Amino acid sequence: MFVLRQCLTLGTKSSVRNFAAATNLVNVKINEDTGVVIMELNKPPVNSLNYELLEAMHRTLVKLENERCSGMILTSSSPNTFSAGLDLLEMYKPTVDKARKFWGMLQNTWIKLYSAPYPTVAAINGHSPAGGCLLAMSCEYRIMVPKKKIGLNETQLGIVAPQWFQDCMKNIIGSRQAEKALIAGTLFSSEEAAKIGLIDELATDKEDLMKKAHDFMDEQLGLPPLARSTVKIGFRKDTLNRLINSREVDTKYFIDFIFQPKVQESLEMYLQALKKK
Ligand SMILES: CCCCCCCCCC/C=C/CC(=O)SCCNC(=O)CCNC(=O)[C@H](O)C(C)(C)COP(=O)(O)OP(=O)(O)OC[C@H]1O[C@@H](n2cnc3c(N)ncnc32)[C@H](O)[C@@H]1OP(=O)(O)O
């Protein structure tokens, strides 16, 4: 039976209340029989990743690991968008302190998600540009509904996908395809993404998406968990360590980059264009 809880707890009823009071940016459903969790991003309209949403995700991921959840399906409550990527307002005219805090939380969240010992599936129920694509790529398996867009489109916006975003893509579709996609800032249709292996499976609709995500999870739950997670971390450790060992440098790149007047101009124009749509 599924029990809906906001911002996860596997603990007592009173701690459920505490977490629910803290945020409703992330809905968490736990299958109490299997220990599989559905984490649903819930920041309308497009799940743009601001500090608060990242913090809610990070807190949930820490809890999942501590409570030894058996698997996690990441999806969103939005009808059209998985995640619109980083919240552009976090990068538009912030203070240095705010930008630093934001970037640190993005790094924390990515490290937790990418290194999660339990199986992770992205059930991509809508568009997934830039940071949204990063979230999906950080899961082990990706299933997507038809006719939506996914990719690292940063170049198109006059910004640059950080090295660890690029590494994630390279690890999935290979160096040549990733280089082409990153230089061009390609947003792939779901169907194109399936062809190049950026996503693993296409679903017909949200119901089929969740069914396929559970099927994948069932397969993974049949494997010895320690062997499974050891192989996973073996594959991911170089990519993880590359960021872990250079977090400060990475943050400095981010800060130096976004405070350039030209970058701020591009962000302003892009934000205006989005509003005018
Ligand atoms: C050595 C060099 C080192 C470099 C160092 C690093 C440099 C910096 C790295 C920065 C990395 C950034 C990664 C990112 O994730 S950037 C974000 C990129 N995201 C996008 O391009 C997506 C933009 N959004 C869309 O394309 C569409 O919104 C959508 C997701 C396709 C959904 O379309 P839909 O029609 O349903 O919705 P609307 O477009 O009408 O949007 C609804 C409202 O939401 C606002 N919105 C949308 N996206 C964002 C966003 N990412 N941030 C903030 N706000 C967003 C939009 O303006 C609408 O607002 P309104 O209702 O007030 O009009």
The pLDDT score that the predictor gives to residue 158 is: 85
What does the pLDDT look like over 75-92, one tens digit per residue? Answer: 999 999 999 999 999 999
Residue 4 has pLDDT above 50, yes or no: no
Confidence bin at 22 (pLDDT 50/70/90): low
Confidence bin at 277 (pLDDT 50/70/90): confident
Q: Which of 131, 132, 151, 185 is catalytic?
A: 131
Residue 215 has pLDDT above 70, yes or no: yes
The b-or-e profile of 24-53 (16+ CB within 10 A means b, else e) is: ebbbbbbbeeebbbbbbbbbeebbbbbbeb
| pLDDT (mean) for 201-230 | 98
Give me ligand 1 centre to Cα 218, in Å.
34
Specify the DSSP element, H or E, that contains 35: none
What does the pLDDT look like over 58-81, one tens digit per residue? Answer: 999 999 999 989 999 999 999 999
Check if the beta carbon of residue 186 is closer than 8 Å to that of residue 99. Answer: no
Residue 213 has pLDDT above 50, yes or no: yes
83 CB-contact burial (10 Å; exposed 0-12 / middle 13-18 / buried 19+): buried
Residue 5 has pLDDT above 60, yes or no: no
What does the pLDDT look like over 216-227, one tens digit per residue? Answer: 999 999 999 999
Q: Of all atoms in ligand 1, which is nearest to the CA of residue 163?
A: 3
Give me ligand 1 centre to Cα 125, in Å.
17
The pLDDT score that the predictor gives to residue 48 is: 98
Please tell me whether the interface predicted TM-score (ipTM) of this complex is above 0.90.
yes
| pLDDT (mean) for 261-275 | 93
13 CB-contact burial (10 Å; exposed 0-12 / middle 13-18 / buried 19+): exposed
Protein residues with CB under 6 Å of any ligand 1 atom: 45-46, 48, 80-81, 84-89, 127, 129-131, 153-154, 157, 159-160, 162, 253-254, 257-258, 274-275, 277
The single-letter code of the amino acid at 32 is: E
Cα(131)–Cα(85) distance, integer angstroms: 4
For the chain, what is the mean pLDDT?
92
